Amino acid sequence: MKICLVTRQFPPHIGGLGHSAERIARQLSRHFGYDVHVLVVDETSDKYFPSFELGNPVNLSMPTIHWLRTMRDWQRSEMASYESLHHLNSVFSFDIVVTFGVSIVGFATTLWGKENGVPVIVSARGKDIHSDIFDPDRFGQIYWCLKHASYIIAVTNTLLRRIRAITGRIDESIFIPNGIDPTVFSEGVVNISNLPRGLVIGTIGVVRPSKGLHLLFQACANLSKKFSFTLLIIGDASEIGREYLDAEMSQWMQHFPVVVTGFVQHSEVLSYLRLTDIVVLPSLYDGFPNALLESMLAERPVIATNSAGEDALEDGEDGLLIQRDSVEALSTAIEQLAINPTLRTKLAVSARNKVLHQYTSHQEAMAWHNVLEMVIGNYLQR
């Protein structure tokens, strides 16, 4: 079976979407023998006209990567994605296409599939359904994409409920959570020279306003009056997030030490996480963050908002779940773990055990395999 995955992120780009696309592409190639191609829609070009780089297939155990470089412009990205997919299909003749995300590439991919008789699976990942759907300029295309896709995979139950409420498509949609592959991470030790000794409260991910870092800064400012700690921010900021991060640090860092790692190689993420005593994911809205599974795998106690952790964490058993957008709830949860090392250990051990048994990349790939085979089977019976 020949599959084309269409995504706006892929390594070396930073971001969980890209790592998820890479992980799924690699697992489907390696374990199920699919001939997997990835069309990366890279919107970082400063050139007016898009450029396309055709990948070179190596073997069936590795996905073939094709790069479309275009400007960050909604209409131009859609048109260029459509044309690039059409060109790729003329070369490789795909049996099925998967779009990672509904906004931007989702509409172009689904439209191309409908016009050319190729089934399309939409993978809803987060922002497109959480926020883009409220944009009146985008709603029409998002709705059309969801209504006309052959099948929909939602990465959280919250996304699945919203998609079903919007479309009424109960039997043609499913929840498949992210998985994690422990083998891609190094076991090395990292040292941060300017990281003070003592309690370390960490957070991880690409810094942007939706990640709720401003709430964490406010909670830490409140707690700095009670005990000492360092806030460790593992990751880099997006273009929008840089100004946001600088503003928050200038306002709050006089109250407590803050260390920002900047870009971290994905293979080294666990090593950095092990520098922390508590990991906090205060997202206002999110999909199923890889950062959550990585923190659990690193055996760290996790505090997550219900937006980030409700599908993976059981409150009080393998993490702490809090209401999003609440500085008070965040402060209370951090203090609860800060003063109770025994609880931290209990949550951390349970979290690692859960992720190794319930959220493996093989389980994720098997669920995807089942959907792919079902969609292709239904298509061939028509």
Q: Which residues of the chain are under the pLDDT cut of 50?
A: none
Question: What domains does the chain contain, in order, with CATH numbers?
Answer: 2-179+360-381 (3.40.50.2000), 183-358 (3.40.50.2000)
**Buried-state track 75-92, b at ≥16 Cβ within 10 A, e below 16:** ebbbebbbebbeebbeeb
This prediction has a pTM of 0.93
Q: Are strands 258-260 and 200-204 parallel, antiparallel or unpaired?
A: unpaired
What does the angle CA 171 – CA 172 – CA 175 come to, to the nearest 5 degrees? Answer: 90
pLDDT per residue over 105-136, tens digit each? 999 999 999 999 999 999 999 888 988 899 99
At 171 the pLDDT is: 94
Angle, helices 327-338/341-358, rounded to nearest 10 degrees: 100
At 200 the pLDDT is: 97
At 364 the pLDDT is: 97
CA–CA distance, 357 with 320 (Å, rounded to integer): 20
At 248 the pLDDT is: 85
